[in-house]
Amino acid sequence: MKRLSRLRRHRAAAPLLLVFALFTIGTTFQVASAVNSEPTTVADRSATVEEGRQIFLKGCSSCHGINAEGGGIAPSLIGVGAASVDFQVGTGRMPMADMSVQAMRKTPLYNPEEVNALAMYVATLAPGPAIPGDEVLNYERDGSVADGGELFRTNCAMCHNFAAQGGALTQGKYAPTLMGVEPKHIYEALITGPQSMPVFSDKTITPAEKLSIIKWIKAAEAEPQLGGVALGRVGPVTEGLLVWTLGIGLLIGVAVWLAMKAR
């Protein structure tokens, strides 16, 4: 007992304890965040975060504020999580080309490493949804196309159309087409609810169901053009356009020809 109290008051005790605590916390964090396998050491990680901060200061802070606190024209990014950044920047929506009603998908301005650095920096500001790793996104193994279709038609088709081709919303906003969107980005959109889209939390749509939706969207993307040219898969409007142009055009052409020959 005496020995313990003497050791406790030893000069080296406090620094050693500090080292031990730091080591424990660091190791725990390392193990806990092993899903994000990118930076392997703490040093790497803080270097990446710093790189992300630099990119943020140059490319994002003019609207989102020096500390990502948001401003008159852009929301605060504190707590939006890495997933949100990865979706917005990874699909080219951010930085916006102009202040229109909605950021549109375009060629990303930053390469994947830069996007990742940005995401990690924003994730350090406050906890938020993380980027789903490849292990989470194994939709081929864990998803079901038929279930995904049913979930898609119930939850998504009212904006994104029955074949995920996109659709109009009010005041010039729109639900974009989901053709050619990476599974990771679809998943991130579901958990972060970008722009007009609602958040589909894991309670509303479980991770397994999300994977089914992704699997169905990928199947819709690969859907062969059964029955001929698909005409955009937007319903009867294009069919009507075709019958009023090519259809009746051909028939009137033939009628003119038939009446002409008799002369």
Within 10 angstroms of residue 104's Cβ, the number of other Cβ atoms is 15
What is the smallest separation between the CB atom of 244 and other proteins, expressed in angstroms? 6
- Residues 17-46 touching other proteins, rule: CB under 8 A, are none
Contact with other proteins (CB under 8 A): which of 78, 96, 157, 197? 157
How far is Cα 247 from Cα 254, in angstroms, rounded to an integer?
A: 11
Q: How many residues in the shown chain lie near other proteins by CB under 8 A?
A: 60
Residues 224-263 close enough to bind other proteins by CB under 8 A = 225-231, 233-240, 242-244, 246-248, 250-252, 254-256, 258-260, 262-263
Q: Which is nearer to other proteins, 21 or 101 (CB)?
A: 101
Q: Which is nearer to other proteins, 113 or 223 (CB)?
A: 223
- How many residues are listed for the chain in this entry? 263
- Among 45, 93, 160, 184, indicate the residue that binds other proteins (CB under 8 A): 160
Say how many C-beta atoms besides its own lie within 10 A of residue 211's C-beta.
25
Three-point CA angle 25, 184, 211, nearest 5°: 100
Residues 62-121 that bind other proteins (CB under 8 A): 101
- Structural tokens at position 77: 């990014």
**Nearest-angstrom CA–CA distance, 6 and 176:** 69
Nearest to 113 by CA among 57, 167, 47, 177: 47
| Residue 198 sits in the site that holds other proteins (CB under 8 A) | no
Of 61 and 155, CB closest to other proteins: 155
Q: Which residue from 128, 100, 256, 143 is spatially nearest to 188, judged by alpha carbons?
A: 128
The token duo for 14 is: 């406090």
Instruction: Rank residues 47 and 237 by Cβ distance to other proteins and give the closer one.
Output: 237
- Token pair of 86, please? 């990865």
Q: In the Cβ-directed half-sphere of 209, how many Cα atoms lie within 13 Å? A: 16
Residue 169 engages other proteins in binding (rule: CB under 8 A): yes
Residues of this chain that interact with other proteins (CB under 8 A) are 101, 145-146, 149-150, 153-154, 157-163, 165-172, 174-175, 216, 219-220, 223, 225-231, 233-240, 242-244, 246-248, 250-252, 254-256, 258-260, 262-263
